[in-house]
Amino acid sequence: MVKSKRILLIVSGGIAAYKSLELIRRLRERGFSVRVVMTKAAQEFVSPLSFAALSGQKVYTELFALTDEAEMGHIELSRDADLVVAVPATANIMGKLASGIADDLASTLLLATDTKILMAPAMNLRMWLNPATQRNLETLLRDGVIFVGPNDGDMACGEFGPGRMAEPLEIAAAIENCLKQPTKIPAPGAAASPSSGSKPLAGRHVLLTSGPTHEPIDPVRYIANRSSGRQGHAIAAAARDAGARVTLVSGPVPIAAPHGVNLVSVETAQQMYDAVHAHLPADIFIGAAAVADWKVSAPSKGKIKKTGDGPPALSLSENPDILASIGKLKKGRPLYVAGFAAETGELEKNGRAKLVKKACDLIVANDVNPETGVMGGDFNTVRLITKAGIEDWPILPKEEVANQLIARIAKLVSELKR
């Protein structure tokens, strides 16, 4: 189904340009057709002839080549693709797209396209880490551009660090993955929601948890975690857009609930457990909350005072596992149960274990090491773990993770026998 899709490959100028030749082979092996556009700088590294030979198509280089305009105008060139990929993507081409500059064929096509854009950056590590590049990266992620890499590694310039382009096989896999989702972006004015054409979850009840829980120590202190609720709330909004009736059971968060969802505010894990069970039945349950695993066994009724005898000992007891309690329901189990696994190591192993232990259909695993900025941040890099296997998604804004996750779950639920 994903076969014979058309890829517009934009090659910008960097030593990694030679790896795009390998990428074309990998893409053609997978049945994709590839049309190549090169920047002027790219032609300094690899000749257009090599790209023409491997792609089997004319290579485009000039914005104002009249013969090209007669054959195919630049707008058509950019629209005649199922996906536009910039490999390698230099700091320059990222900067141009982030600022809306169109001063050559490559940058014009990136601005004119109506498909998603995937970029595989390649540059010196200082250029990658430069605040200007990082600002542009953030802008592009917000605008929906999908990134693969860069990876840490030895660089052509003799340094080591982030900036090395992802390998062709990794990029080919990311492209295949992208093409499993709709890639055409609706025209301005057309409804933009992924589910706007149809409401794949119409008539369904989606019950989900979001945010942290607060476990009281005394009336003024509590144990909590850094969850912002952004991912869970974005999923609630995506489910609403897909036509579902949504019940959002949320711990204390600094953000507003999306309009049109039924918000049930709770504080502790026990309250979250009770609220979730009170709002069954549901067709789909998604446990996106960062539920505290432990609570203080006997919170103090009054504020605990300093006595001079050292800090008080807190005795902890385990909270109920909400997700497992839903996954293991004998009667009235939702058709689809999904959970999250926020991990700081062994993502795959821990995610797989949770899939089984909590009787889920899907675990969305993510790396919450502080350097990823996921906890409380705008972006998420997730790994989907099901019985069928594992799927890595590129770094995406949390809203986009939510849209794609809901689209995926809606499809899976529609395939189940009622």
Classify 211 in phi/psi space as left (phi over 0), alpha (psi -120 to 50) or beta: left
Among 136, 195, 209, 403, binds ligand C5P (CB under 6 A): 209
* Identity of the residue, 87 or 342, whose beta carbon is nearer to ligand C5P in the bound complex: 342
Q: Determine which one of 157, 220, 356, 416 is catalytic.
A: 157
Q: How many CA atoms lie within 13 A of 395 on its CB side?
A: 20
**Contact letters (x/-) for ligand C5P, 372-401, by CB under 6 A?**
------------------------------
CA gap 169, 256 in Å, rounded: 41
Pair of tokens at residue 107: 């940058």
Instruction: Write down the residue that tokens 């542009």 correspond to.
Output: 136
Closest approach, Cβ 220 to ligand C5P, in A, equals 24
* Identity of the residue, 42 or 269, whose beta carbon is nearer to ligand C5P in the bound complex: 269
DSSP classification of residue 290: B
CA gap 185, 389 in Å, rounded: 29
Closest approach, Cβ 122 to ligand C5P, in A, equals 35
Q: How many CA atoms lie within 13 A of 247 on its CB side?
A: 18
**Contact letters (x/-) for ligand C5P, 270-299, by CB under 6 A?**
-----------------x-x-x-x------
Among 168, 211, 334, 339, binds ligand C5P (CB under 6 A): 339
Q: Which helix (H) or strand (E) holds 43?
A: helix 42-45
* Identity of the residue, 283 or 321, whose beta carbon is nearer to ligand C5P in the bound complex: 321
Closest approach, Cβ 232 to ligand C5P, in A, equals 9
Closest approach, Cβ 326 to ligand C5P, in A, equals 8
CA gap 267, 7 in Å, rounded: 49
Q: Which helix (H) or strand (E) holds 55?
A: helix 48-55
Of the candidates 354, 360, 224, 226, the residue with the CA atom closest to the CA atom of residue 286: 360
CA gap 399, 415 in Å, rounded: 24
Task: Decide if 195 contacts 410 (C-beta within 8 A).
Answer: yes
Closest approach, Cβ 354 to ligand C5P, in A, equals 6
Q: What is the footprint of ligand C5P within residues 240-269 (CB under 6 A)?
A: 269
340 binds ligand C5P (CB under 6 A): yes
319 binds ligand C5P (CB under 6 A): yes
Closest approach, Cβ 267 to ligand C5P, in A, equals 14
> Which residue stretch of 3-11, 38-46, 68-76, 319-327 sits at the interface with ligand C5P (rule: CB under 6 A)?
319-327
> Is 178 among the catalytic positions?
no
Closest approach, Cβ 104 to ligand C5P, in A, equals 47
* Identity of the residue, 183 or 250, whose beta carbon is nearer to ligand C5P in the bound complex: 250
Sequence-ordered list of residues with C-beta below 8 angstroms from that of 29, at least 6 positions apart, any chain: none
CA gap 393, 396 in Å, rounded: 8
Closest approach, Cβ 72 to ligand C5P, in A, equals 49
Q: What is the footprint of ligand C5P within residues 354-373 (CB under 6 A)?
A: 354
Signed CA dihedral, 7, 116, 133, 402: sign only: negative
Q: Is 357 exposed, middle or buried (0-12, 13-18, 19+ CB in 10 A)?
A: middle
* Identity of the residue, 127 or 224, whose beta carbon is nearer to ligand C5P in the bound complex: 224
**348-357 contacts at long range (C-beta below 8 A, 24 or more positions apart):** 348/383, 348/385, 348/390, 351/383, 351/385, 352/385, 355/385, 355/386, 355/387, 357/324
Signed CA dihedral, 203, 207, 211, 217: sign only: positive
Among 322, 337, 375, 410, binds ligand C5P (CB under 6 A): 322
> Which residue stretch of 30-38, 81-89, 234-242, 321-329 sits at the interface with ligand C5P (rule: CB under 6 A)?
321-329
Of the candidates 7, 17, 409, the residue with the CA atom closest to the CA atom of residue 178: 7
> Which residue stretch of 59-67, 85-93, 132-140, 333-341 sits at the interface with ligand C5P (rule: CB under 6 A)?
333-341
Binding residues (CB under 6 A) for ligand C5P: these are 209, 269, 287, 289, 291, 293, 319, 321-323, 339-341, 354
Q: Which of the residues are catalytic?
A: 157
